[in-house]
Amino acid sequence: MPVGHNYINRNTTGCFVIRPFIIVDRLLWSLSALAIITAFVCLWPKLVFAEHNAENSRHIAVLYPTVSKEYSGMFEQLIAGISSVSGFHFTTYRIDADTTSESIRQLSRKFNISAYIALGQTTYKLVDSMDSNLPLIAGGMVATPPGISGISLSGDPEAFFRQLQLLNPGINRVFFIYSQKNNGWLVTRARKTGKKYGIEFIPLQVSNLKQATLQYAIVLKSVQPATDAIWIPLDNVAPLDILLPEILRVSWNKHITVFSNNLLHARLGVLFALYPDHYKQGRRLVALLQRQLEQTSSSDDLYPSVDLKTAVNIRTATHLDLRYSREMKNKFDQLYPAYK
């Protein structure tokens, strides 16, 4: 009986026949195996390094409040921006009426939390009451307790005055009705920035709804249409749900420039509004936290929003005899009325 061989076989005539396809097949298999082994050896240090990085990245707790659907979108965008930053493990935790300081401590121990990002006024107060030594950054809020570190929803005066000069360059005086609690920290910055743009900034501090209502009435009566403007800040000291219709009526009749920190106000009739880009602001909160973790930022650094979108009411602009080029309009994020 003929004896078989891996590479050479005897045919029926007694001659030996070489089967080259078997040799090629075995050779290809050997080369493939060698390639896999080489790739594994090359990738192994990277896999170990990635695993090491994952194990050593910081765990950050992102806490946010239970809110109505009207405001939930803001927090969703903030969290999306925060979570998009690499190099951290983010654990989101929703605060409700039953949440206590102890439940947050348990969360911290469970996930080995090394810092907090608190979104919203209620959330910040709860985390701050823990007296934790861990870094705490605040966002998604207007009111600014002493010693807070974070980013306010209030817009940067630099951005407002720059936009005002672009949209109505004739303005050289701006009235600002505010409460010390919510926007007192912003006044010094706004006054300094106003000088840079040749604008006299006139802050009028009020402490309750009655004072705010009276002050708006005085300002609306005394402003000069060609050179004066009113800046409506994010500040609940003024009952704007009641006052805004009157502000818009008088400003329309007297051709007064009004601008705001609230997108809705642009739709209703103020000349323009600058409002936060919450996704970008979320990313900036992480950058601020990073600086604090690296001890390159003091614990009480508070910043206004610089990641802002622009909404302009073209009908109001036309009423004020202001004209904008198509190129300029294309740069605005929102135009009102929204023509289809």
The tens digit of pLDDT for each residue in 55-74 reads 457 999 999 999 998 889 99
**What is the full DSSP assignment across 151-173?**
EEEEEPHHHHHHHHHHH-TT--E
**Predicted pLDDT of residue 175:** 98
Contact 237, 212 (CB under 8 A): yes
Q: In this structure, what DSSP letter does residue 3 have?
A: P
Q: Decide if 51 is inside a domain.
A: no
State whether residue 336 is helix, strand or coil: strand
Contact 278, 77 (CB under 8 A): yes
Q: Decide if 254 is inside a domain.
A: yes
Residue whose C-alpha is closest to residue 147's, from 157, 155, 136, 156: 136
Contact 62, 92 (CB under 8 A): yes
User: Do 226 and 78 have their domain in common?
Assistant: no
Structure tokens at 49: 């390094």
The Cα–Cα gap between 79 and 140 comes to 10
The Cα–Cα gap between 219 and 215 comes to 6
Q: In this structure, what DSSP letter does residue 59 have?
A: E
User: Do 79 and 178 have their domain in common?
Assistant: no
Name the residue range of residue 248's domain.
Answer: 154-276+306-336
Question: What is the enclosing helix (H) or strand (E) of 308?
Answer: strand 308-313
Contact 61, 116 (CB under 8 A): yes
SS3 helix, strand, coil % of the chain, rounded to 5? 45, 20, 30
User: Do 286 and 209 have their domain in common?
Assistant: no
Q: In this structure, what DSSP letter does residue 191 have?
A: H
User: Do 321 and 197 have their domain in common?
Assistant: yes
Q: Decide if 16 is inside a domain.
A: no
pLDDT in tens, the chain (340 residues): 444 444 444 444 444 444 544 444 554 555 555 555 454 444 444 433 333 344 457 999 999 999 998 889 999 999 999 999 999 999 999 999 999 999 999 999 999 999 999 999 999 999 999 988 899 999 999 876 667 899 999 999 999 999 999 999 999 999 999 999 899 999 999 999 999 999 999 999 999 999 999 999 999 999 999 999 999 999 999 989 899 999 999 999 999 999 999 999 999 999 999 999 999 999 999 999 999 888 755 556 889 999 999 999 999 999 999 999 999 999 999 999 975 4
**What is the full DSSP assignment across 235-286?**
-TTS-HHHHHHHHHHHHHHHT-EEEES-HHHHHHT-SEEEEE-HHHHHHHHH
CATH number of the domain residue 61 falls in: 3.40.50.2300
Q: Decide if 69 is inside a domain.
A: yes
The Cα–Cα gap between 334 and 332 comes to 6
User: Do 173 and 235 have their domain in common?
Assistant: yes
The Cα–Cα gap between 141 and 190 comes to 19
User: Do 91 and 229 have their domain in common?
Assistant: no
Q: Decide if 25 is inside a domain.
A: no
Q: Decide if 31 is inside a domain.
A: no
User: Do 122 and 254 have their domain in common?
Assistant: no
User: Do 98 and 117 have their domain in common?
Assistant: yes
How many other CB atoms sit within 10 Å of the CB of residue 83? 16
The Cα–Cα gap between 97 and 65 comes to 9
**Predicted pLDDT of residue 279:** 98
Let me know how many helices (H) and strands (E) the chain has, helices first.
12, 15
**Predicted pLDDT of residue 34:** 53
Q: Decide if 13 is inside a domain.
A: no
The Cα–Cα gap between 185 and 206 comes to 14
> What is the count of structural domains for the chain?
2
User: Do 270 and 292 have their domain in common?
Assistant: no
User: Do 198 and 240 have their domain in common?
Assistant: yes
**Predicted pLDDT of residue 49:** 37
User: Do 181 and 217 have their domain in common?
Assistant: yes
Residue whose C-alpha is closest to residue 79's, from 101, 96, 100, 95: 95
Q: Decide if 10 is inside a domain.
A: no
Contact 299, 128 (CB under 8 A): no
User: Do 171 and 108 have their domain in common?
Assistant: no
HSE, CB side, 13 Å, CA atoms: give it for residue 272. 25
**Predicted pLDDT of residue 31:** 53
